[in-house]
Amino acid sequence: MTHTRNTPASPASDRPTTLPADGFTGRALRARTEPMLVRPLRDDRYVVETERGTYVVDLDGRSCTCPDHAIRGARCKHLRRVAIEVTEGRVPPPGHRRAVCAVCGDVTFVPTYERGPQLCDRHGFAPGDFVRDRETEGILVVTRVTGERADEYETAEGRPVADYETNADYGGHEPVVEAVYLESVRALGGLDTVGDAKRYGFPASRLRRVDDGPRLTAGSPDSADGQAEA
């Protein structure tokens, strides 16, 4: 699997917190044990609230507005703390924002530019993933995860995906995943032909990843009946 999104480690706190000392010393120790609250800003920087003041950290630019950094040029405890919290999944990395998975409701980090409903690592898909359709048991290959909701995404017939009776048990708020039936890819001559096969749109939770992919016995050739054609 090729899922690269970061999974948050713990729920966000709205009060300054400390981290275990873990045998660190000096600034590295203070970065962990002094109470701080890290909050991401919209421009990829972070606000760090401490008992002594509030500072702004630019992780990519390796700068902080505190005197320790401004005067001594040190890699201050605030910079270190932000780096630790990003590594531990407590705040989103630069270029990412918090989102809620449309299937399970867990918090996940997604690229800031991503719009529409989002999925966590557990419920997300990447192009090329092999999936099983819960309704027909057919095996498909994912071609795209759209940012469109199942009750908004229209098929070639001009109907929203969520309108199809076979999709009644899945959330209209879920993102639509486009996929092609493995049978049709095989009929066309192999995985290189994925782009030529007929695409279908599914509410995300209707598809389940199968990790041993093409070695599985594919669904019956007529498994496309009743699907929402993309």
Residues, the chain: 230
Nearer to Zn ion, 103 or 145 (CB): 103
Q: Which helix (H) or strand (E) element contains residue 200?
A: strand 199-203
* Burial class for 157, CB neighbours closer than 10 Å (0-12, 13-18, 19+): exposed
Q: Are 64 and 54 in contact (CB under 8 A)?
A: no
- Give least dist CB 56 to Zn ion, A: 9
25-84: contacts with Zn ion (CB under 5 A): 55, 64, 66, 69, 76, 78
- Give least dist CB 96 to Zn ion, A: 16
Query: Residue 120 corresponds to which tokens in the numbers above?
Result: 């966590």
Cα–Cα distance, 222 to 201 (Å, whole number): 17
- Give least dist CB 162 to Zn ion, A: 19
- Give least dist CB 194 to Zn ion, A: 25
- Give least dist CB 4 to Zn ion, A: 16
Q: What contacts 156, CB < 8 A, 6 or more positions away?
A: 229, 230
Residue 5 near Zn ion by CB under 5 A: no
Binding segment (CB under 5 A) for Zn ion, from list 16-24, 90-98, 122-130, 154-162: 122-130
Among 103, 161, 177, 180, binds Zn ion (CB under 5 A): 103
Binding segment (CB under 5 A) for Zn ion, from list 9-17, 81-89, 99-107, 137-145: 99-107
Query: Residue 126 corresponds to which tokens in the numbers above?
Result: 């990447």
Angle, CA of 108, 113 and 118, to the nearest 5°: 35
Q: Are 185 and 220 in contact (CB under 8 A)?
A: no
- Give least dist CB 218 to Zn ion, A: 27
Residue 101 near Zn ion by CB under 5 A: yes
Residue 123 near Zn ion by CB under 5 A: yes
CA 168: distance to chain centroid? 25
Nearer to Zn ion, 78 or 199 (CB): 78
Residues lying near Zn ion in the complex (CB under 5 A) are found at: 55, 64, 66, 69, 76, 78, 101, 103-104, 120, 123
